[in-house]
Structure 1
Amino acid sequence: MNKSELIDHIATKADISKAAAGRALDALIGGVKTTLKKGGTVSIVGFGTFAVTKRAARTGRNPRTGAAIKIKAAKVPKFRPGKALKDAL
Protein backbone atom coordinates (compact mmCIF):
# COMPACT_ATOMS: atom_id res chain seq x y z
CA MET A 1 0.00 0.00 0.00
CA ASN A 2 1.42 3.38 -0.95
CA LYS A 3 0.50 6.84 0.34
CA SER A 4 -2.30 7.52 -2.17
CA GLU A 5 -3.88 4.11 -1.48
CA LEU A 6 -3.69 4.84 2.25
CA ILE A 7 -5.38 8.21 1.71
CA ASP A 8 -8.15 6.48 -0.28
CA HIS A 9 -8.60 3.94 2.54
CA ILE A 10 -8.75 6.65 5.22
CA ALA A 11 -11.25 8.68 3.18
CA THR A 12 -13.50 5.64 2.70
CA LYS A 13 -13.39 4.41 6.30
CA ALA A 14 -13.78 7.85 7.90
CA ASP A 15 -16.35 9.04 5.35
CA ILE A 16 -14.36 12.20 4.57
CA SER A 17 -12.98 13.67 1.36
CA LYS A 18 -9.66 12.53 -0.07
CA ALA A 19 -8.29 16.04 0.45
CA ALA A 20 -9.19 15.96 4.15
CA ALA A 21 -7.75 12.46 4.50
CA GLY A 22 -4.52 13.63 2.83
CA ARG A 23 -4.25 16.60 5.20
CA ALA A 24 -4.89 14.31 8.20
CA LEU A 25 -2.20 11.87 7.09
CA ASP A 26 0.28 14.70 6.45
CA ALA A 27 -0.49 16.12 9.90
CA LEU A 28 0.15 12.72 11.51
CA ILE A 29 3.44 12.25 9.68
CA GLY A 30 4.50 15.81 10.50
CA GLY A 31 3.70 15.33 14.17
CA VAL A 32 5.71 12.12 14.33
CA LYS A 33 8.69 13.78 12.57
CA THR A 34 8.62 16.81 14.86
CA THR A 35 8.45 14.72 18.02
CA LEU A 36 11.24 12.38 16.90
CA LYS A 37 13.41 15.36 15.91
CA LYS A 38 13.07 16.65 19.48
CA GLY A 39 14.14 13.24 20.81
CA GLY A 40 10.70 12.16 22.01
CA THR A 41 8.65 9.06 21.32
CA VAL A 42 5.22 8.63 19.75
CA SER A 43 3.06 5.81 21.12
CA ILE A 44 -0.16 4.81 19.40
CA VAL A 45 -1.99 2.30 21.59
CA GLY A 46 -2.78 -0.84 19.62
CA PHE A 47 -0.41 0.08 16.79
CA GLY A 48 3.10 0.69 18.10
CA THR A 49 5.79 3.12 19.19
CA PHE A 50 8.08 5.34 17.13
CA ALA A 51 11.37 6.28 18.82
CA VAL A 52 14.87 7.51 18.03
CA THR A 53 17.88 5.35 18.82
CA LYS A 54 21.59 6.02 18.51
CA ARG A 55 23.65 3.85 16.21
CA ALA A 56 27.31 3.68 17.22
CA ALA A 57 30.16 4.45 14.86
CA ARG A 58 31.52 1.35 13.20
CA THR A 59 33.91 0.09 10.56
CA GLY A 60 32.48 -1.09 7.27
CA ARG A 61 33.83 -2.33 3.96
CA ASN A 62 33.66 -0.76 0.52
CA PRO A 63 32.01 -3.53 -1.53
CA ARG A 64 34.00 -2.67 -4.68
CA THR A 65 37.48 -2.43 -3.23
CA GLY A 66 37.16 -4.24 0.08
CA ALA A 67 38.85 -1.30 1.81
CA ALA A 68 37.85 -0.55 5.39
CA ILE A 69 35.83 2.65 5.86
CA LYS A 70 34.58 4.44 8.94
CA ILE A 71 30.81 4.87 9.28
CA LYS A 72 29.82 7.77 11.55
CA ALA A 73 27.49 7.43 14.51
CA ALA A 74 23.90 8.37 13.68
CA LYS A 75 20.45 8.80 15.14
CA VAL A 76 17.93 6.51 13.44
CA PRO A 77 14.16 6.16 13.73
CA LYS A 78 12.82 2.85 15.03
CA PHE A 79 9.34 1.38 15.13
CA ARG A 80 8.29 -1.19 17.71
CA PRO A 81 4.91 -2.78 16.90
CA GLY A 82 2.32 -3.03 19.65
CA LYS A 83 0.69 -6.21 20.91
CA ALA A 84 -2.57 -5.64 19.02
CA LEU A 85 -0.69 -5.23 15.73
CA LYS A 86 1.35 -8.37 16.37
CA ASP A 87 -1.77 -10.34 17.25
CA ALA A 88 -3.53 -9.12 14.08
CA LEU A 89 -0.81 -10.72 11.98
Structure 2
Amino acid sequence: MRKADLITNIAEKTGIPKVDVLVTLEAMFKEVKDSLSQGEHIYIRGFGSFITKKRAAKIGRNIKKNVAVHIPEHYIPAFKPSKEFVAEVKKLKKLPG
Protein backbone atom coordinates (compact mmCIF):
# COMPACT_ATOMS: atom_id res chain seq x y z
CA MET A 1 0.00 0.00 0.00
CA ARG A 2 1.30 3.42 -0.94
CA LYS A 3 0.62 6.72 0.77
CA ALA A 4 -2.00 7.61 -1.86
CA ASP A 5 -3.84 4.33 -1.16
CA LEU A 6 -3.72 5.01 2.57
CA ILE A 7 -5.18 8.49 2.07
CA THR A 8 -7.96 7.12 -0.15
CA ASN A 9 -8.85 4.40 2.36
CA ILE A 10 -8.98 6.83 5.29
CA ALA A 11 -11.06 9.32 3.29
CA GLU A 12 -13.56 6.63 2.31
CA LYS A 13 -13.89 5.22 5.84
CA THR A 14 -14.21 8.58 7.61
CA GLY A 15 -15.94 10.74 5.01
CA ILE A 16 -13.22 13.38 5.38
CA PRO A 17 -12.03 14.95 2.10
CA LYS A 18 -8.77 13.54 0.72
CA VAL A 19 -7.06 16.93 0.90
CA ASP A 20 -7.72 17.17 4.64
CA VAL A 21 -6.49 13.61 5.20
CA LEU A 22 -3.34 14.38 3.20
CA VAL A 23 -2.62 17.52 5.23
CA THR A 24 -3.17 15.64 8.49
CA LEU A 25 -0.93 12.73 7.52
CA GLU A 26 1.83 15.03 6.29
CA ALA A 27 1.65 16.97 9.57
CA MET A 28 1.92 13.72 11.53
CA PHE A 29 4.90 12.51 9.49
CA LYS A 30 6.64 15.87 9.93
CA GLU A 31 6.02 15.84 13.69
CA VAL A 32 7.41 12.31 13.99
CA LYS A 33 10.55 13.31 12.05
CA ASP A 34 11.02 16.51 14.05
CA SER A 35 10.51 14.79 17.41
CA LEU A 36 12.91 11.96 16.63
CA SER A 37 15.54 14.35 15.28
CA GLN A 38 15.38 16.21 18.62
CA GLY A 39 15.80 12.96 20.57
CA GLU A 40 12.19 12.68 21.75
CA HIS A 41 10.34 9.37 21.55
CA ILE A 42 6.70 9.07 20.51
CA TYR A 43 4.44 6.55 22.25
CA ILE A 44 1.04 5.75 20.74
CA ARG A 45 -0.97 3.40 22.95
CA GLY A 46 -2.27 0.37 21.08
CA PHE A 47 -0.08 1.10 18.04
CA GLY A 48 3.58 1.34 19.00
CA SER A 49 6.55 3.59 19.67
CA PHE A 50 8.75 5.64 17.39
CA ILE A 51 12.19 5.68 19.01
CA THR A 52 15.82 6.40 18.22
CA LYS A 53 18.49 3.74 18.63
CA LYS A 54 22.17 4.40 19.11
CA ARG A 55 24.57 2.55 16.83
CA ALA A 56 28.07 2.15 18.24
CA ALA A 57 31.17 3.28 16.36
CA LYS A 58 32.76 0.54 14.29
CA ILE A 59 35.25 -0.19 11.58
CA GLY A 60 33.70 -0.89 8.18
CA ARG A 61 35.31 -1.91 4.93
CA ASN A 62 35.30 -0.43 1.46
CA ILE A 63 35.58 -3.67 -0.49
CA LYS A 64 36.33 -1.96 -3.82
CA LYS A 65 39.45 -0.23 -2.45
CA ASN A 66 40.11 -2.81 0.29
CA VAL A 67 40.54 -0.18 3.00
CA ALA A 68 39.14 0.13 6.51
CA VAL A 69 36.68 2.95 7.10
CA HIS A 70 35.78 4.35 10.52
CA ILE A 71 32.01 4.65 11.00
CA PRO A 72 31.24 6.98 13.94
CA GLU A 73 28.46 6.30 16.42
CA HIS A 74 25.11 7.55 15.20
CA TYR A 75 21.39 7.33 15.83
CA ILE A 76 18.80 5.65 13.66
CA PRO A 77 14.99 5.84 13.77
CA ALA A 78 13.12 2.69 14.75
CA PHE A 79 9.56 1.54 15.32
CA LYS A 80 8.56 -0.85 18.07
CA PRO A 81 5.00 -2.19 17.64
CA SER A 82 2.71 -2.60 20.65
CA LYS A 83 1.63 -6.02 21.89
CA GLU A 84 -1.85 -5.44 20.44
CA PHE A 85 -0.36 -4.57 17.04
CA VAL A 86 1.81 -7.70 17.04
CA ALA A 87 -1.16 -9.86 18.04
CA GLU A 88 -3.21 -8.53 15.09
CA VAL A 89 -0.43 -9.29 12.62
CA LYS A 90 0.06 -12.78 14.07
CA LYS A 91 -3.58 -13.57 13.22
CA LEU A 92 -2.65 -13.30 9.54
CA LYS A 93 -2.63 -16.77 8.01
CA LYS A 94 -1.16 -15.93 4.61
CA LEU A 95 0.05 -12.83 2.80
CA PRO A 96 -2.42 -11.63 0.16
CA GLY A 97 -1.26 -11.92 -3.44
Shared fold, TM over 0.5: yes
Secondary structure of residue in 1 paired with 2:59? strand
After TM superposition, the structure 1 = structure 2 runs for residues 35-50 of structure 1, keeping only pairs within 5 Å, are 35-50=35-50
For residues 3-42 of structure 1, what are the alpha-carbon distances to aligned partners after superposition, in whole Å with 9 as ceiling and x for unaligned?
1111111111221111011011011111111211221111
The whole-number CA distance in structure 2 between the counterparts of 1:66 and 1:12 is 55
The whole-number CA distance in structure 2 between the counterparts of 1:49 and 1:19 is 27
| Counterpart residue identity of residue 30, structure 2 | G
Question: What is the match of residue 2 of structure 2?
Answer: 2
Structure 1 residue 65: Cα displacement: 3.4
| Counterpart residue identity of residue 33, structure 2 | K
Q: TM-score normalised to the size of structure 2?
A: 0.83
The whole-number CA distance in structure 2 between the counterparts of 1:9 and 1:79 is 23
After TM superposition, the structure 1 = structure 2 runs for residues 1-89 of structure 1, keeping only pairs within 5 Å, are 1-89=1-89
Q: Which structure 1 residue ranges, 5 or more long, are not aligned? A: none
Structure 1 residue 63: Cα displacement: 2.9
Secondary structure of residue in 2 paired with 1:49? strand
Q: Which structure 2 residue ranges, 5 or more long, are not aligned? A: 90-97
| Counterpart residue identity of residue 52, structure 1 | T
Q: TM-score normalised to the size of structure 1?
A: 0.90
For residues 61-85 of structure 1, what are the alpha-carbon distances to aligned partners after superposition, in whole Å with 9 as ceiling and x for unaligned?
1132332211121111111011111
